[in-house]
């Protein structure tokens, strides 16, 4: 069964076999008008929609996309979508002047989500996670990463991993689970933090590895959370157990986390608001992808990470929602692209690379998605408007009209 999609303005990057860097971020391929053929969910051919241009003249079905704009399905490479309850009260405290990390130090923040998750049934947690995934899909996200980190006991972290795996079976998106047992020092370990790091290393990580669900291990390296030395110990153990590595680093305070992530050969380092040029250069050298989260800067009223500088220094850039009940509650990748373009000066083409192919590399999914090219899954979205510029132009409005995963129309 071959379907020909035709009469579209297609904008896609090319997969160069590695995350895009520097000027590669801005190198769009445009087919206008363009067409592509999908067979068994895979793109068989893509090219100009002109007679003699290689277009299939004998497909089983033809879908006319009416001259609208087509881009690859978005990839959201950093979320905390598996949580039990929102934290609107804290948002209101922040509106009234409270600081995000101050709330955290006083036992709210991540710990508030830990308390609600520990008390929640599996059903509640699953329902909430599915709700987030549904909303994420409506914004064109066809591949998404989800982290644990609201359990912070072996049992609750495993429960979170299992719920993520269960949710993944019930949604059309590809879901990539990440273990983030070192997300915070839970209150019961406040006066014996070393014991919690021991617990992560000696019990949680082996149990998570045994469960075989999480592909990545992440850690929150930050002042008042995990030190660089503790993070290295946790990540080293995770690698021994067969996981690939990520790290939340230099979000509020520059602890040298970017350099640590590079040294540890992390696939990605995330946040990076406070990262300096030395740390970023080490990431460029190691090929560590920067996963930048402008929605978080917006929501906790912090500066934006220096994404343009990252591109200049040769760091591959990805962008994500960080969707979580605390520091950034949005499932909208179009909103993230808008912030990147309008507030961070990221060129539109680069922002698109950052939410498609580079985001796919950041979660190990580039083999199957992230660009519209022969051999990849037909994960694509139809946008309102003539070009991806519609995203920041029609700001605050969902520009996604249709969503296709493996060639199947979902929205």
- The residue from 116, 254, 327, 332 that contacts ligand NIG (CB under 6 A) is 327
Among 15, 56, 251, 379, binds ligand NIG (CB under 6 A): 251
Q: Is 49 in the site for Fe ion (CB under 5 A)?
A: no
Locate 67 and state its tokens: 């001259």
Taking CA atoms, 19 is separated from 183, 260, 362, 365, in Å, by 27, 20, 8, 11
- Name residue, tokens 């850690």: 219
**Shortest CA distance to 401 belongs to which of 67, 28, 102, 107?**
67
Is residue 364 classed as helix, strand or coil in its secondary structure?
Answer: coil
Spatial distance between the Cα atoms of 27 and 20, rounded to a whole number of angstroms: 9
Identify which range of 283-291, 321-329, 330-338, 351-359 contacts ligand NIG by CB under 6 A: 321-329
Closest CA to 64 of 382, 365, 392: 382
Tokens encoding 331: 């499932």
Q: Check binding of 322 to Fe ion (CB under 5 A).
A: yes
Question: Pick from 42, 9, 15: which is nearest to 357 by CA?
Answer: 15
| Ranges within 76-105 binding ligand NIG (CB under 6 A) | 80
Q: How far is the CB of 402 from ligand NIG (least distance, A)?
A: 30
218 binds Fe ion (CB under 5 A): no
Give the containing element (helix H, strand E) for 29.
strand 29-39
Residue whose CB is less far from Fe ion, 282 or 322: 322
Q: Does 326 bind ligand NIG (CB under 6 A)?
A: yes
- Of the ranges 12-20, 115-123, 185-193, 316-324, which one interacts with Fe ion (CB under 5 A)? 316-324
* Minimum CB distance to ligand NIG, residue 57 (Å): 50
- Least distance from C-beta 316 to Fe ion, angstroms? 19
From ligand NIG, Fe ion, none, interface partner of 220 (C-beta below 5 to 8 A by class): ligand NIG
State the Cα–Cα distance between residues 166 and 146, nearest whole angstrom. 12
Cis peptide before 33 (omega within 30 of 0): yes
DSSP code for 393: H
Q: Count CB neighbours of 61 within 10 A.
A: 10
Whole-angstrom distance, CA of residue 273 vs CA of residue 196 = 27
Give CA 19 to chain center in angstroms: 14
Q: Could you tell me how many residues of this chain bind ligand NIG (CB under 6 A)?
A: 13
Stretch that binds ligand NIG, among 61-69, 188-196, 322-330, 348-356 (CB under 6 A): 322-330
What is the number of the residue whose Cβ is closest to ligand NIG? 326
Q: Which two tokens stand for residue 295?
A: 């929605």
Asked if residue 250 binds Fe ion (CB under 5 A), the reply is: no
Binding ligand NIG (rule: CB under 6 A), the pick from 178, 324, 332, 356 is: 324
Using CB under 6 A as the binding rule, whether residue 113 contacts ligand NIG is answered as: yes
Binding of residue 322 to ligand NIG (CB under 6 A): yes
**With respect to Fe ion, which residue has the nearer C-beta, 299 or 371?**
299
Reported as type and span, the H/E element at residue 155 is helix 154-170
Q: Please tell me whether residue 251 binds Fe ion under the rule CB under 5 A.
A: no
331 sits near Fe ion (criterion: CB under 5 A): no
Residue 120 has, within 13 A of its CA and on its CB side, a CA count of 26
Of 69-77, 89-97, 158-166, 317-325: span binding Fe ion (CB under 5 A): 317-325
User: Is 296 near ligand NIG (CB under 6 A)?
Assistant: yes
The residue among 116 and 377 lying less far from ligand NIG, judged by its C-beta, is 116
91 by Cβ neighbours in 10 Å (0-12 / 13-18 / 19+) ranks as middle
Segment near ligand NIG (CB under 6 A); pick from 58-66, 324-332, 341-349, 389-397: 324-332
Q: Is 222 in the site for Fe ion (CB under 5 A)?
A: no
Nearer residue to ligand NIG within complex by CB, 8 or 339? 339
- CA 77 to CA 170: how far, in whole Å? 19
Within 31-81, residue ranges assigned H as helices are: none
Interacting residue ranges for ligand NIG, rule: CB under 6 A: 80, 109-110, 113, 220, 248, 251, 296, 322, 324-327
Interacting residue ranges for Fe ion, rule: CB under 5 A: 322
């Amino acid at each position: 069964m071959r379907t020909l999609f035709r009469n579209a303005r297609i904008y896609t990057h090319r997969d160069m076999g590695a995350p895009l860097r520097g000027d590669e971020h801005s190198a769009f391929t445009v087919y206008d008008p363009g067409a592509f053929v999908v067979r068994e969910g895979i793109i068989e051919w893509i090219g100009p929609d002109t007679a003699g241009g290689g277009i299939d003249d004998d497909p089983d079905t033809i879908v006319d996309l009416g001259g609208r704009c087509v881009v690859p399905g978005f990839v959201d490479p950093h979320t905390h979508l598996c949580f039990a309850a929102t934290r609107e009260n804290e948002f209101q405290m922040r509106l009234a002047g409270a600081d995000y990390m101050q709330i955290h130090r006083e036992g709210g923040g991540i710990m508030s989500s830990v308390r609600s998750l520990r008390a929640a049934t599996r059903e509640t947690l699953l329902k909430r996670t599915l709700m987030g995934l549904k909303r994420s899909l409506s914004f064109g996200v066809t591949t998404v990463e989800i982290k644990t980190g609201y359990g912070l006991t072996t049992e609750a972290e495993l429960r979170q991993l299992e719920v993520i795996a269960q949710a993944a079976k019930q949604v059309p998106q590809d879901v990539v689970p990440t273990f983030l047992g070192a997300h915070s020092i839970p209150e019961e370990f406040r006066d014996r933090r070393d014991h919690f790091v021991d617990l992560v290393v000696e019990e949680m990580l082996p149990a998570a590895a045994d469960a075989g669900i999480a592909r990545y291990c992440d850690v929150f390296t930050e002042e008042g959370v995990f030190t660089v030395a503790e993070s290295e110990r946790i990540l080293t153990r995770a690698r021994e157990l067969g996981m690939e590595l990520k790290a939340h680093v230099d979000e509020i305070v520059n602890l040298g986390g970017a350099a640590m992530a590079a040294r540890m050969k992390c696939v990605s380092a995330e946040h990076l608001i406070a990262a300096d040029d030395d740390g970023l250069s080490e990431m460029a050298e190691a090929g560590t992808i920067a996963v930048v989260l402008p929605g978080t800067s917006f929501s906790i009223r912090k500066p934006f990470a220096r994404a343009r500088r990252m591109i200049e220094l040769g760091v591959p850039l990805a962008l994500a929602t960080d969707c979580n009940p605390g520091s950034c509650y949005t499932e909208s990748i179009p909103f993230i692209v808008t912030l990147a373009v309008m507030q961070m000066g990221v060129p539109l083409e680069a922002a698109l690379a950052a939410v498609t192919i580079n985001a796919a590399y950041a979660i190990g999914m580039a083999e199957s998605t992230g660009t519209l090219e022969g051999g990849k899954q037909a994960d694509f979205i139809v946008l309102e408007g003539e070009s991806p510029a519609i995203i920041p132009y029609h700001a605050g409005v969902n520009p996604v009209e249709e969503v296709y995963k493996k060639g199947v129309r979902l929205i």
